[in-house]
Amino acid sequence: MNLKELYQEIILEHGKNPRNLRKTENFNKDAKGNNPLCGDIVHVYLKLSEQRKVEDISFEGSGCAISMASASIMTDLIKGKSDNETKEIIEDFLGMIKENPELKSNILKEDDKTKLMCLSGVKQYPMRVKCATLSWHTLISAMENDGKEISTES
Amino acid sequence: MNIDTIKKEFPIFDKKIQNNDLVYLDSANSSQKPKVVIDRINEFYSKQFSNVGRSVHYLAVTATNLYENTRSSVQKYINAKDKNEIVFTKGATEALNLVANTLGQKYLEEGDEILLTELEHHSNYVPWHYLRKSKNIKINFAEINEDGDVPIENIEKKITPKTKIIAINHLSNVTGAILPIKEITELAHSKGIIVVVDGCQGGPHLKLDMQELDCDFYAISCHKMYGPTGLGILYGKKKWLEELPPYQGGGGMIKEVKKDRITYGDLPNKYEAGTMATAQVIAFDQSIKFLESIGIENIIKHEKELIEYGQEILRKNNSVKLIGNPKNKGGVLSFIIQGVHPHDIATILDEDGVAIRAGHHCCQILHDKLEIPASARASIGVYNIKSDFDQLNESINKCKKIFDLK
């Protein structure tokens, strides 16, 4: 276990100053997520174009440094992406957090990949994986399931 | 037994946790187990095991006697008037569900009110919540004051002519407030109100005297009292347990079963349907003996000194804000650090072998009231020593360093 790997500079910085922590005006998709075991909550707002391009993405919520940083980095990377690109990035991230040593997708730029890889430190902390993935599952719900509330425990 | 050397009775402290000595500050969640309790489970399964109360063979008689011995020990330990006032359950949660369910069936009418406090653990709220729908009853909450305490006046204020039950914790698992159960019961009984006590945190930390407290029901969690998991105790006054309907149906709780009618067994069998947690019950006798060998007065004194020491240390740490400052406090020190989420605190502390709990501790109502999503909680048991709080403080300083706090 290595705390330095978990709490990297980028994570601490995003945790302290989360990007896109607001509510998108005129959002047309949204979903709530919660972790009933610890009380973390997140609400993801999306503004999708007619072609389902992510014109804006934002979130509200509270949680630990890992969950806030993850939501912050996620919203930063997803903004401006198409429907398919978004799906690919989500799948790639969740795959990396679960088992893959690296990100596979070529959609993200190298420095964006580096940012996302910073979250890989949670792999060593099974109890904290849910902190990193909650906002991502909530994003899927907002995109796919018409905003069905996400819980880490169901 | 000398309380200063009690730690050596607990085998877990011989183990290194990720190369560190274990600093266990999560006893409000569950306590560690002394060797005598662990050994008793092994011995029972190895040499004496049988189901209880059914067969007539030698092992069945032995097991039944041992099982009933624990009931007698518990009766004595909590000073209940009658042995049959002790019901074994699978936990304090089941004990509280049993009370809520059976009082709901037999005693409550539409429009009746139940009074809880804002301190309650979810297991002393959710079972009552079920009655909102099934019986259309109303639930009120006595408010906490700024110290995280519920003074008796705040309870009195919320009593109405419709209040039928007051269900309250003995010791808050978040603020550590110790409620004056005896006085609350006197007040409640003067108005014909039943008192149900969630004694999960009271059990390990306070003197339990049912005849003195005079409450109608008291729920105990055995695994928080140095006993095995999967076991709880419901104390209920005999008149209630006799009058209320059974909770679960099954083997062991019946008198006579016919195709057209069923009659139920006498106390305590009426509430102990199915095969019970036999080994756990029998081992819990050792937990009681362990507590008796130290003496509850010594435990109270030791833990009071520890909590005062912990408070003193954490108050000096300028980033730490303690949650709750009740006059009578026991067992727990909850806190927040401005700028570090409790989960991050818990993960960083864990790296040093310091085990605490982070979250809402099954008390969302209280955390909403305090306007914090979560808190960190250090909770103690008989085995803790002052240096555990020194290590806690040192590890908190490590958190501050990682998060760049002054």
Residues A6-54: tens digit of each pLDDT: 999 999 999 999 999 999 999 999 999 998 777 789 999 999 999 999 9
Q: Do A3 and B359 lie within an 8 Å CB cutoff?
A: no
Whether B258 and B61 have beta carbons less than 8 Å apart is answered as no
Q: What is the pLDDT along chain B (406 residues), one digit of tens a residue?
A: 677 789 999 999 999 988 999 999 999 999 999 999 999 999 999 999 999 988 899 999 999 999 999 999 999 999 999 999 999 999 999 999 999 999 999 999 999 999 999 999 999 999 999 999 999 999 999 999 999 999 999 999 999 999 999 999 999 999 999 999 999 999 999 999 999 999 999 999 999 999 999 999 999 999 999 999 999 999 999 999 999 999 999 999 999 999 999 999 999 999 999 999 999 999 999 999 999 999 999 999 999 999 999 999 999 999 999 999 999 999 999 999 999 999 999 999 999 999 999 998 999 999 999 999 899 999 999 999 999 999 999 999 999 999 999 7
Residues 90-129 in A contacting B (C-alpha not used; CB under 8 Å): 125, 127-128
In chain B, residues under CATH classification 3.90.1150.10 are 3-29+295-402
Q: Which runs of consecutive H residues, i.e. helices, occur in B78-139?
A: 92-106, 126-135
Find out if CATH 3.20.20.80 is the number for domain B38-292: no
DSSP letter, residue B119: T
| C-alpha–C-alpha distance, residues B109 and B287, integer Å | 40
CATH class of B3-29+295-402: alpha beta
| C-alpha–C-alpha distance, residues A151 and A17, integer Å | 25
What pLDDT, on a 0 to 100 scale, did the predictor assign at position A127? 86
Q: From chain B, pick out residues whose CB is under 8 angstroms from the CB of A68.
A: 341
In chain B, residues under CATH classification 3.40.640.10 are 38-292
Whether A89 and A77 have beta carbons less than 8 Å apart is answered as yes
| C-alpha–C-alpha distance, residues A94 and B35, integer Å | 43
Number of separate helices (H) and strands (E) present in chain B: 14, 17
Q: From chain A, pick out residues whose CB is under 8 angstroms from the CB of B353.
A: none
Complex confidence, ipTM = 0.89
Catalytic positions of B, written as ranges: 362
Q: Do B403 and A66 lie within an 8 Å CB cutoff?
A: no
CATH architecture of A3-148: Alpha-Beta Complex (3.90)
